[in-house]
Amino acid sequence: MFENLLPWLGSAFIVALAASLQGITGFGFALVSMPLLLLIYDPHHVVIINAIISIASLSSLTFKVRQQVLVPVVKNLFLGSILGIPLGAYVFFSSDVHLLKLIIGLVTGIFSLILISGATAKNVAGRIWEATAGSISGFLTSSVGMPGPPVILFLSNQKLPKEHFRATTAAYFILAYLCSLSLLIYLGGVDQNTVFTALSLIPLAILGGHLGYLIFPKVSQPKFQQGVSLLVFSTSVYAVITSLMSQS
């Protein structure tokens, strides 16, 4: 009994924490939850669990902030993601557990360092760039369950007010996750036990997201994002080290 309960309790804490951070920033759920959940489940299960929970928690957040969503930006990002999602699905099915864990660790680590440094891309704007960011995001969504890195970097460069930033990223991520999850289900990459685990964690995600939504007006965005980035970097380093050790 305790063998099953303890992993679930650990997962519940991780999901609630990640969802609260997402409620504040509009992103960060996968960046925090993915490397931490890798301590409990194998990467293929984590990708599916993350997608299902993200759809539920992001739907709740997006409904609350729907007036701030920049619809044209979401549309261009999503159209681009449709190109990248099939290629990401191929990587998901063809990569073994250790390689997928290594990829997740590297992606989150690199992105967290970029966020910590405050680096942005210069002279990058418009529909073509939005679609390009969406394509890369779509690939990462279906391969490692993380649509955020390219979209966050792109939109950060646009200097959007944090209200529009949070709402737009949340709305886009719902679409990317829905499309990716649908394809993985169609291709037989989702098992029943993983779905049950994800569904049992959704209430914790919604609770954490609501808490983050309430905290949002009181948070200093730059300091908060730096703190999240440091946490993500630490967990991603651990994921990379453990995946390399398991292969040696």
Specify the residue for token string 């737009």. Answer: 168
Percent of the chain with pLDDT over 70: 83
Q: How far apart are CA 83 and CA 67, in angstroms?
A: 28
Question: How many Å is the maximal CA-CA distance in the chain?
Answer: 56
Give the span between the Cα atoms of 140 and 138, in whole angstroms.
5
Span of 79-83, 86-90, 164-168, 244-248 with lowest mean pLDDT:
244-248
pLDDT for 48: 93
How confident is the model at residue 204, as a pLDDT?
92
Which pLDDT value is given to residue 26? 65
Say which residue, 92 or 163, is predicted with more confidence: 92
pLDDT above 90 covers a percentage of the chain that reads: 33
| Overall average pLDDT of the 33-56 stretch | 88
Count up the domains in the chain and report the number.
1
Lowest-pLDDT choice from 101-105, 117-121, 147-151: 117-121
Question: How far apart are alpha carbons 128 and 134 in whole angstroms?
Answer: 10
State the pLDDT at residue 51: 93
* Calculated CA dihedral for residues 39, 40, 45, 51, nearest 10 degrees: -80
Judged by phi (left if over 0) then psi (alpha if -120 to 50, else beta), residue 95 lies in beta
The domain of 64 spans 2-247
